[in-house]
Amino acid sequence: MPHETTTKLIKQLLEESPKRNFPESVDLAINLKNLDMKLPKNRVDLEIVLPKGFGKDIKIGVFAKGEVALQAKDAGAAYVFDEGGIQSLIDDSSYAKTVADECAFFIAETQFMQQIGKSLGTVFGPRGKMPVPLLPGRTVGDMIDSKRNAVRVRSKDNLTFHVSVGQRDMNPSDLAENVDTVISSITHVLAKGKHNIKSVYVTTTMGTSKRVI
């Protein structure tokens, strides 16, 4: 869909959806077709960078120690866990679940990946929040910056799933660019591309919806 058409739809959506007394997100409801979602190869599991960002701060957790931990704090990580911090998550599953739900992404020094997978995999795995390893050649600050504008899209075994593309108070043209980017990225990984998309709707948290596809 041309960018101008998407922008027009979003303008109509915002005009027709009464403003609420709390920050509202703008989300896509994506409906697929002609796919057997029991087969892992047909499931959508993507990390997509939104070109215009989320329009709000995204919490990112980091598993690191020493200089890397200090760099993570300086870069604005919401949580930084060293060995002792990781153990506190292992010892308190309720706290671990709270942290996993609060953060959109996690980054970990490679030395901690095995321990996290073994002891916290049951918490982070089902949420799609397993940490991304901090590989040689990249700084934790650069990775945090890249994750701030990224969204994780996971269909699991469902033909219908949702993804946030920004906040209501963002510019409609910026929201449209995020919408087009997400749809294009998802279409690219589907077996038959656009022919596997039944429909896509854009909506605000408590507002109406508009059909994009």
Q: What whole-number distance in Å separates Cα of residue 48 and Cα of residue 135?
A: 19
Tell me which CATH homologous superfamily contains domain 60-148: Ribosomal protein L1/L10, domain II (3.40.50.790)
**2.30.40.10, 3.30.190.20, 3.40.50.1820, 1.10.10.350: which CATH number matches 3-55+149-211?**
3.30.190.20
What is the chain's pLDDT, residue by residue, as a tens digit (213 residues)?
668 999 999 999 999 998 888 889 999 999 999 999 999 999 999 999 999 999 998 999 999 999 999 999 999 999 999 999 999 999 999 999 999 999 999 999 999 999 999 999 999 999 999 999 998 899 999 999 989 999 999 999 999 999 999 999 999 999 999 999 999 999 999 999 999 999 999 999 988 999 999
What per-residue confidence (pLDDT) applies to 1? 62
Residue boundaries of the structural domains of the chain: 3-55+149-211, 60-148
Burial class (CB in 10 A: 0-12, 13-18, 19+), 131: buried
pLDDT on residue 89: 98
Q: Which amino acid is at 133?
A: P
The pLDDT assigned to 19 comes to 85
Task: State the pLDDT at residue 21.
Answer: 87
Helices 93-102 and 83-91: crossing angle in degrees, nearest 10, is 110
**What one-letter code names the amino acid at 46?**
L
Give the contacts of 196 (CB within 8 A, at least 6 positions apart). 32, 33, 34, 35, 190
